[in-house]
């Protein structure tokens, strides 16, 4: 008789400590279901195992007519305001994106049996399954553990997935393969006592070289760039980077940390962060705030001090003994000389274009890395099995070396013999995975947004799908004309195909909009009393050089106009660019004023009567609404007054960007401060029409009316945005530092967003009161 | 034998070109608004960008309803733990038939289905692995149930699919419309046809399948959600107190309903909800898919929202 529980069926195939952890989680789950464990304690436990909430898990949903309560069966909650039976998301962390075919097959099984048949690759090389029931999670974890995957510390205030350049080990510009170091760091830190007491999450990343984009170390809490010094391996270590609402560039902790010092140094960083990092205020708890507060010199001193005090630990260097000094997959190459198989030929339709955009030659002669383009990071269980077969057949290498998930939400096949590319392409096409354009224009990156995320404001995936469709169609058109003209057109199309678009559903940057050529994040604007989904346009980001520059907000456009904005920007660039000029370089040369002029015609949404579709989001038939409170109709004079005042704040925030462009950081800081004051004044004026222009008075009134009363507070971010103004007002002296100025501009932008949201909530409340009081 | 999950797929009638799935998004949102399908409907997931993928899904607590190029797929999931495989299959078929009827009634989604046979997938590799033994166990559990529904001519044949894929059968001789099935399965959560208020305020009795609570109307007003209040009382009642609605006494409704907007939410009320329930019934029958009855009428509004109005 076969086993009736996965626990028994997999006995002996799961490492003891992992099995014990999952059993413990299951008993916690049972205790909570029986009401014998505190909901907050259980929420923390499940988050640490990657079991996340999803949109509408508070049991309420706006169905386009009204907010409805979802009458799930009566059960205890699984966290504050989180209904037990509401579907959730399971995050599965894949260190440095390294997967074996067997692991991929298990993910496929789980997607079918516990989710909706879809495997989703995230921007941090994780996999996610959506619409998962909480009671299925222990078995789901067991089945993963049986193939060597743990979900431990995939969420929560812990060390998240250790990411790395997906080309690590095969890239021709890397110093050496960082994958084994990423693996070692992940195993060392997993469950380590020194990383259990963080105030917030901690994201590490590895890169094999300084210049390429793949590692994105500059935007991580801790980043490690491979370096060789006199033949010795080591890392440049940076700390305190991060996107989030206000992006920070990481700062250099050490120019060269020898490989044997890598783990102890990270442990020392963890101890400093755990000891001194902010714990209460989530909005200020990432390590970037600690580094900014202490200054990098002091932070470095503390880390060195902590390092010196660390007790010796053999695990610090044990992994080095196991490191092979020849890269895996080298030697034993037999496919390089083998001819094309399956009758697939190099002149098959679409092959040349696919090869040009998706194939990268490896350092190993005759071998290639092949990007498999996954639309919006999604693939079906059936495609995953096909991909596992393809990896076994064409990407033969040591386990974890043949397949990698990437931050572009694609999967990479490595160690493919060049001669087998046509056959591989044919096999991918048969599985519906042979599309060209990986990491190019049509490969739009997006976070889940309003589809499943609780924080989402606008439909990032809906917009991404719309853009993909339009851009793929545009790229598929053959370059028209002939001769010199035809060549120019072909070159334009090639340039276009390299453009990157990234979209987030809200100001948190899971879609990494700051480092795109064209980035978007979701927000909302009210037009004549009705809310319409919008996207803030972000330009000037740079993903090269490990995310060397962050883009800036250029203005908010209605969601429905976003594809037109992309088209207008592309056309302006293609017409105005110097030969070979890349988009970020062109954007830089244009300056903000000229870029804004391109966007300007699209910024205003037509009234509802003329274009009702502007008031619903992409891929969503419902009329747009922002959450449970929703947004009220125009309450007459008072609201339009707010509209006028807040416009002033928006133009000041834009002037701040212009000042920064002109190299005047001090002026940019001053304008940002003024923008926040104007937005605060706009709110105060709704209640106190005679408020003056004095900063002290504005801040005092704002604080008393909106901050201390928590009316300005965001449901998720709390008082974070209001604090920006209070902190700055306490000392508004400009520092004249570019980095600080860039941050102030972001803060001003977010403060203005928060003012919009606050006004919307207030007017909804006023409406409700007046409706109730109506005779 | 029990399965944790199973899916039935009703194939699309072969048609060239493949139907556009975009209208299914609106269709599913309408289904959620109207509580048109069995189960607690939660949300719509759009996977049209995935080649060969699940298409557009309506995610409910007990089942996922999906339409793709292949057809309609109903995946029976939560709340079926106590059921034998045959019972669970019956529920899934019941849900599939309800979905087919609702799609046809809506008329906004053009896909046609071939309902003489369907495929059955067992999404539980522990109980029903894709092996000869698993197939034998599944057949032993499912076939008697299928024959009970469709008669002795019904057959099931195992698909020769990838052994790593779920165990799958082709079920033939199973015309869905003729099946001996109830209209809807008996689920612990019910389809909800209307916004639900806070429990404390809930009126005990449903007056129509399309009730909304006074708090929901209050919220729609507060949010500026587009809607029209229709008052089906008599003019002298309107003079005593009113919600500023369109006055359309019940007796005159058949004459005037043609003037009401079909694309807007109609909130119909009377004094206590009786007359308006009948009015909504008639409006729905005439194709007003967004007509709702204000449960408890204007008296409930006075009691729970605005005491300043005059009771009578």
Q: Is B172 on the interface with A (CB under 8 A)?
A: no
The reply to whether B222 and B292 lie within a common domain is yes
- Tell me the pLDDT tens digit for each residue of A252-303: 999 999 999 999 999 999 999 999 998 777 777 889 989 988 999 999 999 9
Tell me the average pLDDT across A390-401: 82
The reply to whether A315 and A202 lie within a common domain is yes
Structure tokens at B256: 């005037």
A710: domain CATH number is 1.20.120
- Report the distance separating Cα A144 and Cα A184, nearest Å: 20
Is residue A155 domain-resident? Answer: no
Confidence of residue B16 (pLDDT cuts 50, 70, 90): low
Closest Cα in chain A to B187: A73
Domain count, chain A: 5
In a mutagenesis test of the B interface, which of A2, A13, A56, A66 is the best target, namely the one with the most B β-carbons within 10 Å? A66
Q: Bridge partners of A98? A: A404
B265 contacts on A by Cβ (under 8 Å): 65
Confidence of residue B191 (pLDDT cuts 50, 70, 90): low
Triad B3, B6, B7: Cα angle to 5°:
170
B123 contacts on A by Cβ (under 8 Å): 112-113
Q: Which helix (H) or strand (E) holds A266?
A: helix A262-276
Closest CA to A150 of A115, A123, A197, A189: A189
Asked if B257 and B265 count as a contact pair (C-beta separation under 8 A), the reply is no
Q: Given a cut of 70, is residue A108 above it in pLDDT?
A: yes
Is residue A753 domain-resident? Answer: yes
The reply to whether B252 and B146 lie within a common domain is no
Is residue A329 domain-resident? Answer: no
The reply to whether A573 and A450 lie within a common domain is yes
The reply to whether A16 and A123 lie within a common domain is yes
Q: Is A482 on the interface with B (CB under 8 A)?
A: no
Asked if A226 and A207 count as a contact pair (C-beta separation under 8 A), the reply is yes
- Report the distance separating Cα B171 and Cα B156, nearest Å: 4
Interface of A with B in 541-560 (CB under 8 A): none
Is residue B312 domain-resident? Answer: no
Distance of CA A704 to the CA centre of its chain: 35
B229 contacts on A by Cβ (under 8 Å): none
Helix axes A262-276, A315-322, angle to 10 degrees: 150
Closest Cα in chain A to B303: A772
Closest CA to A391 of A378, A379, A401: A401
Q: Is B304 on the interface with A (CB under 8 A)?
A: no
- Report the distance separating Cα A196 and Cα A205, nearest Å: 19
User: What confidence score (pLDDT) does residue B199 get?
Assistant: 36
Q: Given a cut of 60, is residue A233 above it in pLDDT?
A: yes
Q: What is the per-residue burial (b if ≥16 Cβ within 10 Å, else e) of A376-401?
A: bbbbbbbbbbbbbbbbebbbbbeebb
Q: Bridge partners of B68? A: B71
Is residue A199 domain-resident? Answer: yes
Lowest mean pLDDT among A106-115, A338-347, A545-554, A762-771: A338-347
Place of tokens 């990234």: A502
Place of tokens 């604080």: A703
Question: Mapping DSSP to helix (H, G, I), strand (E, B) and coil, where does residue B139 land?
Answer: helix
- Tell me the pLDDT tens digit for each residue of B270-312: 998 888 988 888 888 887 878 889 988 999 998 888 888 888 8
Distance of CA A739 to the CA centre of its chain: 21
Q: Given a cut of 80, is residue A212 above it in pLDDT?
A: no
Is residue B42 domain-resident? Answer: yes
Asked if B213 and B295 count as a contact pair (C-beta separation under 8 A), the reply is yes
B288 contacts on A by Cβ (under 8 Å): none
Identify which of A108, A451, A632 has the shortest CB distance to residue B45.
A451
**Order of strands, sheet of A118-121, starting from the edge strand that comes earlier in the sequence:** A51-52, A88-92, A127-132, A118-121, A378-380
Distance of CA A21 to the CA centre of its chain: 29
The reply to whether B173 and B218 lie within a common domain is no
In a mutagenesis test of the B interface, which of A621, A622, A766, A774 is the best target, namely the one with the most B β-carbons within 10 Å? A621
Place of tokens 């800081």: A669
User: What confidence score (pLDDT) does residue A626 get?
Assistant: 58
The reply to whether B150 and B263 lie within a common domain is no
A69 contacts on B by Cβ (under 8 Å): 195-198
Domain count, chain B: 2
Confidence of residue A616 (pLDDT cuts 50, 70, 90): confident
Q: Bridge partners of A531? A: A526
The reply to whether B140 and B273 lie within a common domain is no
B191 contacts on A by Cβ (under 8 Å): none
CB contact under 8 A, A68 and B192: yes
CB contact under 8 A, B162 and A764: no
In a mutagenesis test of the A interface, which of B219, B244, B305 is the best target, namely the one with the most A β-carbons within 10 Å? B219
Is residue A330 domain-resident? Answer: no
Q: Given a cut of 70, is residue A340 above it in pLDDT?
A: no
Is residue A435 domain-resident? Answer: no
Tell me the average pLDDT across A447-455: 83
- Tell me the pLDDT tens digit for each residue of A164-202: 999 999 998 899 999 999 999 999 999 898 998 888 899
End-to-end CA distance of chain B: 60
The reply to whether B14 and B144 lie within a common domain is yes
Tell me the average pLDDT across A473-495: 65
B27 phi and psi, to 5 degrees? -55, -50
CB contact under 8 A, A130 and B29: no
- Tell me the pLDDT tens digit for each residue of B102-149: 999 888 898 999 988 999 999 999 999 999 999 999 999 999 999 999
Identify which of B43, B53, B124 has the shortest CB distance to residue A113.
B124
Is residue A30 domain-resident? Answer: yes
Closest Cα in chain A to B28: A621
The reply to whether B103 and B13 lie within a common domain is yes
Tell me the average pLDDT across A438-463: 83
Of the ranges A211-225, A720-734, A754-768, which is most confident? Answer: A720-734
Identify which of A56, A116, A774 has the shortest CB distance to residue B57.
A116
What percent of chain B is modeled with pLDDT above 90? 51
Domain termination site, one of B178, B198, B222 = B178
Tell me the average pLDDT across A240-256: 87
Is residue A158 domain-resident? Answer: no
Structure tokens at A612: 């009702």
Q: Is B125 on the interface with A (CB under 8 A)?
A: yes
Tell me the average pLDDT across A64-83: 85
Q: Are strands B167-172 and B155-158 parallel, antiparallel or unpaired?
A: antiparallel
- Tell me the pLDDT tens digit for each residue of A618-641: 888 787 775 433 222 223 333 456
User: What confidence score (pLDDT) does residue A333 get?
Assistant: 42
The reply to whether B236 and B115 lie within a common domain is no
Domain termination site, one of A145, A175, A205 = A145
A48: domain CATH number is 3.30.70
The reply to whether B16 and B142 lie within a common domain is yes
The reply to whether B217 and B77 lie within a common domain is no
The reply to whether B140 and B257 lie within a common domain is no
Interface of A with B in 705-764 (CB under 8 A): 764
Lowest mean pLDDT among A325-329, A518-522, A716-720: A325-329
A718 vs B9: which has the higher pLDDT: B9
A118 contacts on B by Cβ (under 8 Å): 47, 50, 53-54
The complex's ipTM?
0.82
Q: CA-CA distances (angstroms) from residue A516 to A288, A443, A538, A544? A: 21, 12, 8, 10
The reply to whether A599 and A651 lie within a common domain is no
Identify which of A87, A117, A465 has the shortest CB distance to residue B49.
A465
Is residue B1 domain-resident? Answer: no
- Report the distance separating Cα A717 and Cα A715, nearest Å: 6
Residue numbers of the domain that contains A461: 441-478+486-637
User: What confidence score (pLDDT) does residue B196 get?
Assistant: 40
Is residue B155 domain-resident? Answer: yes
Any idea which residues of B carry the catalytic annotation?
270
What percent of chain A is modeled with pLDDT above 70? 91
Asked if B157 and B173 count as a contact pair (C-beta separation under 8 A), the reply is no
Q: Is B296 on the interface with A (CB under 8 A)?
A: no
Closest CA to A252 of A217, A280, A283, A286: A217
Smallest Cα distance from B131 to chain A, Å: 13
The reply to whether A653 and A618 lie within a common domain is no
Q: Given a cut of 80, is residue B93 above it in pLDDT?
A: yes
The reply to whether A301 and A393 lie within a common domain is no
B226: domain CATH number is 3.40.250.10
Of the ranges A349-358, B4-13, B103-112, which is most confident? Answer: B4-13
Cβ-Cβ contacts under 8 Å between A and B: the total is: 185
Mean predicted lDDT score pLDDT of chain B: 87
- Tell me the pLDDT tens digit for each residue of B243-272: 988 888 888 887 777 778 877 888 999 998
A451 contacts on B by Cβ (under 8 Å): 45-46
User: What confidence score (pLDDT) does residue A136 get?
Assistant: 96
A317: domain CATH number is 3.30.413.10
Q: Is B59 on the interface with A (CB under 8 A)?
A: yes
Range A529-532, long-range pairs (CB < 8 A, 24+ positions): A529/A632, A529/A633, A529/A634, A529/A639, A529/B224, A530/A608, A530/A615, A530/A633, A530/B224, A531/A615, A531/A624, A531/A625, A531/A626, A531/A630, A531/A631, A531/A760, A532/A558, A532/A559, A532/A605, A532/A614, A532/A615, A532/A624
CB contact under 8 A, B50 and A451: no
The reply to whether A620 and A673 lie within a common domain is no
Q: Is B50 on the interface with A (CB under 8 A)?
A: yes
The reply to whether B134 and B225 lie within a common domain is no
Q: Given a cut of 80, is residue A484 above it in pLDDT?
A: no
Tell me the average pLDDT across A726-745: 90
Mean predicted lDDT score pLDDT of chain A: 86
Q: Is A567 on the interface with B (CB under 8 A)?
A: no
- Tell me the pLDDT tens digit for each residue of A666-725: 999 999 999 999 999 989 987 887 788 899 999 999 999 999 998 898 877 788 899 999
User: What confidence score (pLDDT) does residue A485 get?
Assistant: 60
Smallest Cα distance from B30 to chain A, Å: 9
A583 phi and psi, to 5 degrees? -60, -50
Q: Which helix (H) or strand (E) holds A482?
A: none
A760 contacts on B by Cβ (under 8 Å): none
CB contact under 8 A, B190 and A376: no
Interface of A with B in 355-394 (CB under 8 A): 375-376, 378-383, 385
A461 contacts on B by Cβ (under 8 Å): 46
Is residue B311 domain-resident? Answer: no
Question: Mapping DSSP to helix (H, G, I), strand (E, B) and coil, where does residue A681 land?
Answer: helix
The reply to whether A767 and A688 lie within a common domain is yes
Identify which of A109, A113, A619 has the shortest CB distance to residue B25.
A619
- Tell me the pLDDT tens digit for each residue of B201-234: 344 467 777 888 888 888 888 877 788 899 999 8
Domain termination site, one of B131, B159, B178 = B178
Residue numbers of the domain that contains B37: 6-178
The reply to whether A551 and A643 lie within a common domain is no
Burial class (CB in 10 A: 0-12, 13-18, 19+), B89: buried
For the whole model, what pTM was predicted? 0.79
Identify which of A66, A379, A451 has the shortest CB distance to residue B219.
A66
Burial class (CB in 10 A: 0-12, 13-18, 19+), A320: middle
The reply to whether A86 and A206 lie within a common domain is no
Q: Bridge partners of A412? A: A371, A404
Distance of CA A20 to the CA centre of its chain: 32
Residues contacting residue B145 through CB under 8 Å, at least 6 positions apart: B85, B86, B87, B89, B90
Q: Given a cut of 50, is residue A556 above it in pLDDT?
A: yes
Tell me the average pLDDT across A718-736: 90
Is residue B204 domain-resident? Answer: no
Residues contacting residue A443 through CB under 8 Å, at least 6 positions apart: A373, A408, A410, A437, A468, A500
- Report the distance separating Cα A272 and Cα A269, nearest Å: 5
The reply to whether A377 and A525 lie within a common domain is no
Q: Is A102 on the interface with B (CB under 8 A)?
A: no
The reply to whether A359 and A407 lie within a common domain is yes
CB contact under 8 A, A73 and B79: yes
User: What confidence score (pLDDT) does residue A320 get?
Assistant: 93
- Tell me the pLDDT tens digit for each residue of A397-420: 766 678 999 988 999 999 999 999
């Amino acid at each position: 008789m076969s086993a009736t529980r996965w626990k028994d069926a997999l006995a002996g195939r799961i490492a003891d400590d992992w099995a014990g952890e999952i059993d413990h989680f299951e008993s916690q789950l049972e205790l909570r279901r029986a009401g014998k464990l505190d909901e907050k304690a259980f929420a923390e436990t499940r988050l640490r195992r990657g079991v996340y909430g999803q949109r509408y898990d508070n049991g309420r949903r706006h169905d386009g007519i009204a907010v409805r309560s979802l009458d799930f069966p009566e059960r205890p909650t699984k966290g504050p305001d989180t209904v037990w039976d509401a579907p959730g998301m399971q995050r599965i962390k894949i260190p440095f994106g390294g997967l074996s075919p067997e692991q991929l097959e298990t993910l496929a099984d789980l997607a079918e049996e516990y989710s909706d048949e879809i495997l989703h690759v995230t921007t941090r090389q994780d996999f996610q399954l959506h619409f998962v029931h909480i009671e299925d999670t222990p078995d789901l974890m067991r089945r993963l553990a049986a193939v060597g995957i743990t979900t431990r510390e995939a969420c929560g205030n812990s060390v998240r997935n250790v990411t790395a350049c997906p080309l690590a080990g095969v890239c021709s510009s890397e110093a050496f393969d960082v994958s084994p170091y990423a693996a070692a760091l992940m195993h060392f830190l997993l469950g380590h006592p020194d990383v259990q007491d963080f105030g917030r999450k901690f994201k590490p990343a590895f890169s094999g070289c300084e210049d390429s984009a793949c590692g994105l170390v500059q935007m991580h809490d801790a980043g490690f760039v491979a370096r060789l010094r006199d033949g010795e391996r080591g890392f440049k270590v940076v700390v305190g980077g991060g996107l989030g609402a206000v992006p920070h560039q990481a700062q250099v902790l050490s120019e060269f940390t020898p490989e044997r010092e890598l783990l102890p140094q990270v442990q020392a960083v963890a101890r400093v962060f755990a000891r001194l990092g902010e714990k209460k205020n989530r909005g200020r708890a990432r390590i970037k705030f600690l580094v900014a507060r202490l200054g990098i010199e002091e932070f470095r001193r503390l880390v060195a001090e902590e390092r010196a005090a660390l007790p010796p630990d053999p695990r610090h260097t044990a992994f080095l003994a196991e490191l092979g000094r020849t890269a895996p997959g080298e030697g034993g190459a037999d496919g390089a000389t083998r001819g094309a198989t399956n009758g697939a030929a190099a002149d098959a339709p679409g092959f040349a274009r696919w090869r040009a955009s998706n194939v990268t030659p490896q350092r190993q002669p005759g071998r290639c890395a092949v990007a498999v383009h996954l639309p919006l990071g999604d693939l079906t269980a059936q495609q995953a099995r096909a991909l596992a077969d393809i990896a076994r057949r064409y990407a033969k290498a040591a386990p974890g070396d043949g397949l990698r998930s990437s931050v572009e939400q694609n999967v990479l096949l490595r160690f493919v013999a060049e001669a087998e590319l046509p056959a591989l392409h044919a096999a991918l096409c048969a599985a519906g995975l042979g599309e060209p354009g990986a990491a190019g224009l049509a490969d739009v990156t997006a976070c889940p947004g309003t589809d499943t995320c609780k924080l989402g404001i606008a439909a990032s995936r809906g917009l991404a799908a719309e853009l993909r469709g339009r851009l793929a169609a545009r790229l598929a058109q053959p370059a028209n004309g002939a001769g010199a003209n035809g060549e120019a057109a072909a070159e334009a199309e090639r340039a276009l195909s390299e453009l990157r678009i990234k979209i987030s559903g809200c100001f948190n940057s899971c879609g990494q909009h700051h480092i795109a050529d064209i980035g978007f994040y979701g927000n909302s604007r009210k037009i004549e009393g009705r809310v319409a989904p919008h996207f803030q346009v972000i330009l000037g980001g740079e993903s090269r050089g490990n995310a060397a520059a962050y883009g800036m907000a250029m203005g908010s456009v209605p969601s429905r106009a976003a594809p037109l904005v992309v088209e207008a920007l592309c056309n302006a660039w293609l017409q105005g660019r110097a030969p070979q000029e890349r988009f970020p370089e062109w954007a830089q040369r244009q300056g903000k004023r000229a870029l804004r002029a391109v966007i300007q015609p699209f910024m205003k949404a037509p009234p509802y009567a003329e274009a009702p579709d502007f008031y619903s989001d992409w891929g969503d038939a419902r009329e747009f609404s922002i959450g449970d409170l929703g947004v009220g109709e125009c309450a007459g004079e008072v609201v339009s007054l707010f509209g006028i005042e807040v416009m002033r704040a928006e133009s000041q925030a834009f002037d701040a960007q212009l000042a920064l462009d002109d190299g005047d950081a001090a002026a940019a800081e001053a304008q940002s401060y003024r923008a926040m004051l104007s937005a605060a004044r706009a709110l105060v004026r709704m209640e106190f029409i005679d408020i003056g222009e004095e900063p002290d008075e504005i801040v005092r009134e704002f604080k008393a009316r909106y901050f201390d009363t928590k009316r300005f507070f965001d449901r998720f971010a709390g008082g974070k945005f209001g604090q920006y103004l209070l902190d700055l007002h306490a000392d508004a002296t400009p520092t004249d530092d570019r980095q600080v100025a860039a941050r102030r501009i972001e803060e001003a932008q977010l403060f203005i967003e928060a003012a919009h949201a606050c006004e919307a909530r207030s007017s909804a409340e006023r409406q409700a009161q007046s409706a109730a009081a109506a005779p | 034998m029990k399965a944790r999950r199973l899916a039935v797929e009703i194939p699309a009638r072969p048609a060239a070109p493949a139907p556009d799935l975009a209208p299914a998004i609106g269709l599913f949102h309408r289904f959620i608004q109207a509580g048109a399908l069995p189960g607690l409907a939660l949300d719509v997931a759009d996977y049209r960008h995935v080649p060969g993928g699940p298409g557009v899904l309506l995610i409910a607590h007990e089942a996922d309803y999906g339409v793709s190029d292949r057809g309609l797929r109903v995946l029976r999931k939560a709340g079926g733990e106590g059921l034998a495989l045959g019972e669970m299959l019956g529920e899934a078929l019941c849900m599939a038939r309800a979905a087919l009827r609702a799609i046809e009634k809506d008329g906004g989604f053009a896909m046609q289905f071939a309902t003489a046979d369907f495929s059955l997938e067992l999404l539980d590799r522990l109980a029903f692995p894709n092996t000869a033994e698993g197939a034998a166990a599944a057949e032993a559990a499912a076939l008697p149930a299928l024959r009970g529904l469709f008669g002795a001519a019904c057959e099931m044949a195992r698909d020769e699919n990838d052994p790593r894929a779920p165990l799958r059968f082709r079920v033939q001789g199973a015309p869905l419309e003729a099946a001996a099935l109830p209209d809807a399965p008996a689920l612990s959560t019910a389809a909800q046809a209307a916004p639900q208020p806070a429990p404390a305020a809930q009126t005990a009795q449903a007056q129509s399948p399309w009730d909304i609570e006074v708090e929901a109307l209050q919220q729609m007003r507060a949010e500026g959600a587009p809607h029209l209040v229709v008052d089906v009382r008599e003019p002298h009642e309107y003079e005593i107190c009113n919600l500023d609605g369109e006055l359309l006494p019940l007796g005159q409704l058949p004459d005037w309903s043609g003037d009401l907007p079909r694309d807007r939410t109609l909130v119909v009320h009377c004094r206590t909800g009786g007359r308006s329930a009948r009015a909504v019934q008639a409006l729905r029958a005439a194709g007003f898919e967004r007509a709702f009855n204000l449960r408890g009428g204007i008296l409930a509004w006075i009691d729970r929202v605005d005491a300043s109005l005059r009771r009578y």
